[in-house]
Structure 1
């Protein structure tokens, strides 16, 4: 299976991670902290680290750190110099960055990292992001029109310094200029002359990652992406979405095996389930429990407030609980209540996290990953951790050996590039097989 770790900030996925006594509260501006998390992930053989982005200040500074990193590409450049094998995936907007700049920065990073870079290509949608560039958000269809143009111009620029240009020859040419050519590619919104002054990397050009979507977004993802990342809430949803993507990929003219489907998953581990829950409770203690308790009551189908958060539900309450039909999280919540967990402990099981999460032992975490993987609900996972300072290491030291012993995760890197790690095909320039909108 493929495993990437989301290092969106220097603290963790839980908004209170920065308050923990063992955490450096200034880690947001300390790139060495993020570098160390990446080195730990590399020690465990994880295929890549991932840094998401939003182009505006996101978060309530009175309560927590900014949710997103200061700048993904610059941060990944620092990580590249301190690691050797692990892939480096960063987010950059197709809506607000010009394709020549994107192509140059991403391919430069790919060259200096010896072919380990991936680009999470996303269109921006938030008014705050457009405001920072002095623009108004476009209509949805125009957003994807620009995305298609940017993707095609960027890939054309990546391929503009051809392999045939050769290596520098001190007795002859540095590069054959006949094979370093302008692209002269222009659409209605973006364009570039080229060529790009960056030769091929060890993997040719960066891997492309995109989020799962529908409609215009799905059409774009199956045309360009090597990796599609999703947030399914159940095995059934993951399996259905993965199959829909594979079918759409074939319709776009590509081999469905060329795209890997990854699902988000979150974890907090401990030697026992109780220990893991206590770790999560130490974080939850910094947040207001009243709103989650009210939401929990609704998920249990109760029409009353839960006034005793530290005691299991009464027999009368258990007789009244019922799961919402078709809601996997509601069903899990009801099961935890019947198992005798208190409301506070049910919340500590991360039932309201955006993606399925396990708070438990290394074996329980491995069970979750193996169940999804063997059910064809995912080709791999984007890992989220509450507290990066402890949980990345816990996963590497405790969960990875279990997965390796079960034969579902590799024991060592087999290649050097991100394409090697992911098992996606070589590509240089635009994929001529693709059928879809063109510039």
Structure 2
């Protein structure tokens, strides 16, 4: 598509940032986790930058070192998004909700209410859940993959059918005649599968975009690809190298084609962790200051990725010529190529770790052009349709990205100058959808 532009989103979470000790940054209020005003500020900053949506992961369990680290989660995605929606105008909300531990009627009702409240800006990141700590909170065992995805297929079909059960012209609202709703156009769906069921209907009218947008997230497993190809309009990926991302995007688009859909109607997003700073060195130092002991603990893993033993006393010394001569990218870790390039560029092991050699997503550090270069290269290579941005510290990192990176992307003609419309579907460039068109087999 000749008029393709990068689509940006920002992650909202605990109110601090993507670094382990962001909550201890001097510019951060350590109480932000329970302060909705913080996430409202971040969403407003992202909206100022023309971001299509904010994205909230959700792991409803305590599973971190809570004595020293923050709880890496938003308090409740739907409740916080409802508040943020009233303080914003154009930015959308893609919120994670489990198909494993939530009933379809509740999901359909809550997400459509948010869609109506926000005037068509809601999206549902539908995920299966395999975390045993989350399962324990719901008093259930972890089901096997096949069962989880069978329930996910049933859940999405029921949710979308419920969303369409109030037909578009059902609401008459004629005060003169006294007719409120045409009952023939608000009917039960009576759908049930092996795991979930619902009678319906859902007593909620369409929003300005009809119904919420379905997303999903994860790696390119056959189960997930089939699921995404049939239902999703957005796919949130976890990839590190441009070739890996392009292959996954191609696989997602093919899955949509196999399901009889236009592949342009499913958008593929890659994660990007950002530290915007005047220089790369200043950015690395900022990351080190908020890393705690994480980088030191990761040193053995970095050595295994390079095939070179690394001693703690050498963490600040670049690899020697002898070490570089035998260093190689371990085939079992897709991040190893990044680590090898950093070693060959002369960075010390600590600097390599600060560069994100073992992070969960690619990391860009330095002035605005460093981040813009990464995004433009990936986008123009067909490796992504957009990025979900994770600033190191949200309090100032997101504003820095909006002020220093977004203008460069716009100057280069790869990012829109303004919102295309007021709904999430319009700003993603995907068609309207209402209901699911029946029970898909």
Q: TM-score, normalised by structure 2?
A: 0.94
Partner of 1:235: 242
Aligned equivalent of 1:142: 147
Paired residues for 1:170-189 under 5 Å: 170-172=175-177, 173-189=179-195
User: Is the 8 Å Cα contact of residues 16 and 287 (structure 1) preserved in structure 2?
Assistant: no
Find out whether 1:342 has 2:359 as its counterpart: no
Superposed CA deviations along residues 252-289 of structure 1, whole A, max 9, x for unmatched, are 111111111111111111111112112112112x2254
Determine whether 1:73 maps to 2:78.
yes
- Counterparts of 1:32 and 1:390 in 2: how far apart (Å)? 15
1:272 corresponds in structure 2 to 279
The answer for the alignment partner of 1:382 in structure 2 is 388
Match of 1:126 in 2: 131
Deviation at 1:161, TM superposition (A): 0.6
**CA–CA separation in structure 2 for the residues paired with 1:368 and 1:326:** 24
Q: 1:321 to 1:131 in 2, by over 3 A?
A: closer
Superposition deviation, residue 167 in structure 1: 4.5
| Residue aligning to 1:423 | 429
Task: Write the distance in 2 (CA, Å) between the matches of 1:304 and 1:198.
Answer: 60
Pick from 216, 221, 225 the counterpart of residue 214 of structure 1. 221
| Structure 2: gaps of 5 or more residues | 1-5
Alpha-carbon deviations, 1:341-366, whole Å to 9, x = none?
22221211111111111112210100
Other-structure match for 2:202? 196
The number of residues matched between the two structures is 434
CA distance in 1, matches of 2:34, 2:167: 39
CA contact (8 A) 1:58 1:68 kept: no
Cα distance between partner residues in 1 of 2:71 and 2:57:
12
Higher mean alpha-carbon deviation, 34-43 vs 171-180, is at 171-180
Residue 88 of structure 2 corresponds to 83
Q: Conserved in 1, the CA contact under 8 Å of 2:119 and 2:208? A: yes
> 2:294 and 2:431 mapped to 1: Cα distance?
48
Match of 1:59 in 2: 64
Q: Which runs of 5+ in 1 are unaligned?
A: none
**Which of 305-314 and 245-254 deviates more?**
305-314
Please say if residues 121 and 209 of structure 2, whose CA atoms lie closer than 8 Å, have aligned partners that are also in contact.
yes
Contact 2:112 2:204 in 1 (8 A): yes
C-alpha deviations, 1:405-433, integer Å up to 9, x for none? Answer: 0001111112000000100110000056x
414-423 or 383-392, which deviates more: 383-392
Say whether residues 1:404 and 2:404 are aligned partners.
no
**Residues 1:395 and 2:401 aligned together:** yes
After TM superposition, which residue ranges in structure 1, 4 or more long, deviate above 4 angstroms?
Answer: 325-328
* 129-138 vs 21-30, which moves further: 129-138
Distance 1:30 1:344, change over 3 A: same
Matched residue, 1:165: 170
2:174 match: secondary structure:
coil
Distance 2:306 2:142 in 1: 39
More displaced, 153-162 or 269-278? Answer: 269-278
Q: Secondary structure at the match of 2:157?
A: helix
Match status 1:33 vs 2:63? no
Q: Is the 8 A contact 2:120 2:211 kept in 1?
A: yes
Task: Say whether the 8 Å CA contact 1:208–1:224 is kept in structure 2.
Answer: yes
CA distance in 1, matches of 2:89, 2:248: 34
Q: Among 363, 374, 383, which residue is 1:357 paired with?
A: 363
Out of 103-112 and 168-177, give the one that drifted further: 168-177
Is 1:155–2:155 an aligned residue pair? no
TM-score by length of 1: 0.95
The Cα of 1:134 is off from its aligned counterpart by: 1.9
Classify 1:304/1:15 alpha carbon distance in 2 versus 1 (closer, same or farther; 3 Å): closer
Once residues 251 and 321 of structure 2 are traced to their aligned partners in structure 1, the CA distance between those partners, rounded to angstroms, is 43
Question: C-alpha displacement at 1:293, in angstroms?
Answer: 2.0
Q: 1:329 aligns with which of 325, 335, 341?
A: 335
Match of 1:252 in 2: 259
